[in-house]
Amino acid sequence: MYDGSEKQFSLTREGLSTRRRAKGGFLSAIMSKSTASIVLLCAAASFLAQPVSAADTNPATAPAEPAIKPAEVSGDAVVAKGKGVEVKRSQLDEAVRSYKANATAHGKPIPPEQMASLEPGVLDHLIQFQILVSKATDAENARAREDATKRLESIKTSAPSEQAFNSQLKATGLTVDKLVKNMAEQDVAEAVIKRELKINITDADVEKFYGDTNNAANFEQPEMVRASHILLMTQDPKTQKELSPAEKEAKHKTIEGLLKRARAGEDFAKLASEFSEDPGSKDKGGEYTFPRGKMVPEFETAAFALKTNEVSDIVTTQFGYHIIKLSEHIPASKVALDKVAPRIKDYLTQQEIGKLAPDYMAKVEKDAEVKILDEKLKPQTAPAGGPPAGHPL
């Protein structure tokens, strides 16, 4: 079901955004363009195909390429080789580390019993990724770099703050330059696989999928409200411990004063920006757009009960004291085709890739005469939750 929004909600049932945001956060956008099959490939392959050097830990000074290349690492054995393909042990180790870190960040750590079959699967992805990238044209490379730079700006914009962006970037082990490079390579791999497989999803294909009654539930947008709030927390933001009764009383008196000012007609957004202690919304005038089931119950009930432009009484939740102003009730509806067409196209593209890619990748690997030089790394049974060994996408 389409919820009409990709925002992170500060008052979701999971908690305040900057304190309890689901692991992975806004940087999950790095690995996503709604083409799941491409993401599977790139998560293992392009997510650091080069080892990290000390210089890479500082985004301000890191070069566009790693200071130490695999070939320069002493004793760095080649584990797979073919025409236009060479994967070194350091590259595989780094890709495996990155894959495991990415899986853990998204709450899906690789079980210990699947570790043995993880490396062969990651290696297969690295091989296939090198093959795809080697087939890219100059125009595809240039376009991918430009798109990756734009995506970086979008990711930064969606981050709660520059500090939050840098923190999550550091957690992935990436620098800004490497992030852009990886995203560009992902785009290149996607462009090449589409071109090589001659995949062309038309507007008619998209319209047919959208109009199919079997898919109707995918485009239902539930009833939502657009509301703003001012929060004064009754917890210490650092320790998350409850404030003392005296401190709570002081906060309540302050919120009472703010309620009077809001009902007297003062600009609610300005009041929220100045006084609200919700870090996820104060810079946006306290505003959220959300359906039922997203926010904590007390907040949700109050917001949905308001009339347009009405200001609530003081609402108490586990986070503190709120006053809420409703801007708009948004009735349930079917999402317009133009809003979901890009996602439908990506989904249909994914389906075609899933059908055609295995045979194609098997052929190009054979043509490249790729040899796995370490017996332990030859394809095994695919690990659940990890990249499937022997499965290209």
Residue 180: CATH number of its domain: 1.10.4030.10
Lowest mean pLDDT among 112-126, 249-263, 310-324: 112-126
Query: Do both 266 and 322 map to the same domain?
Result: yes
pLDDT of residue 11: 54
Tell me the C-alpha distance between 392 and 389, whole Å: 8
Q: Is the pLDDT of residue 86 over 70?
A: yes
Contact (Cβ atoms closer than 8 angstroms) between residue 31 and residue 43: yes
Query: Do both 178 and 115 map to the same domain?
Result: yes
pLDDT of residue 242: 94
Tell me the C-alpha distance between 54 and 351, whole Å: 41
Query: Do both 45 and 152 map to the same domain?
Result: yes
Strand-by-strand arrangement of the 320-330 sheet = 287-291, 224-233, 320-330, 315-317
Q: Is 1 among the domain residues?
A: no
Q: Is 357 among the domain residues?
A: yes
Beta strands (DSSP E) in 68-128 are: 78-82, 85-88
Lowest mean pLDDT among 37-46, 156-165, 237-246: 37-46
Beta strands (DSSP E) in 83-120 are: 85-88
What's the domain count of the chain?
A: 2
Question: Where a domain ends, among 300, 331, 362?
Answer: 331
Query: Do both 323 and 369 map to the same domain?
Result: no
Q: Is the pLDDT of residue 167 over 90?
A: no
Tell me the C-alpha distance between 67 and 70, whole Å: 10
Query: Do both 308 and 161 map to the same domain?
Result: no
Tell me the C-alpha distance between 351 and 335, whole Å: 22
Q: Is 190 among the domain residues?
A: yes
More confident residue, 308 or 178: 308
pLDDT of residue 393: 33
Q: Is the pLDDT of residue 240 over 70?
A: yes
Lowest mean pLDDT among 44-58, 226-240, 258-272: 44-58
Contact (Cβ atoms closer than 8 angstroms) between residue 36 and residue 343: no
pLDDT of residue 12: 55
Domain containing 237 — which CATH number?
3.10.50.40
Mean pLDDT, to the nearest integer, of 125-146?
A: 93
Tell me the C-alpha distance between 192 and 82, whole Å: 19
Report the predicted TM-score, pTM, of the whole model to 2 decimal places.
0.60
Query: Do both 133 and 259 map to the same domain?
Result: no
Q: Token digits for 53?
A: 């050097």
Tell me the C-alpha distance between 7 and 362, whole Å: 40
pLDDT of residue 84: 84
Q: Is 387 among the domain residues?
A: no
Mean pLDDT, to the nearest integer, of 139-156?
A: 92
More confident residue, 41 or 81: 81
pLDDT band at 280 (very low <50, low <70, confident <90, very high): confident
pLDDT band at 182 (very low <50, low <70, confident <90, very high): confident
pLDDT band at 385 (very low <50, low <70, confident <90, very high): very low
pLDDT of residue 168: 80
Greatest CA separation found in the chain? 77
Q: 317: domain range?
A: 223-331
Lowest mean pLDDT among 91-100, 277-286, 290-299, 381-390: 381-390
More confident residue, 116 or 204: 204
Query: Do both 62 and 165 map to the same domain?
Result: yes
Mean pLDDT, to the nearest integer, of 205-229?
A: 94
Mean pLDDT, to the nearest integer, of 162-182?
A: 83
The residue type found at 301 is T
Q: Is 6 among the domain residues?
A: no
The residue type found at 206 is V
Query: Do both 356 and 285 map to the same domain?
Result: no
pLDDT band at 376 (very low <50, low <70, confident <90, very high): confident
∠ CA 322-325-330, nearest 5°, is: 125
Q: How confident is the prediction for the chain on average, in pLDDT?
A: 79
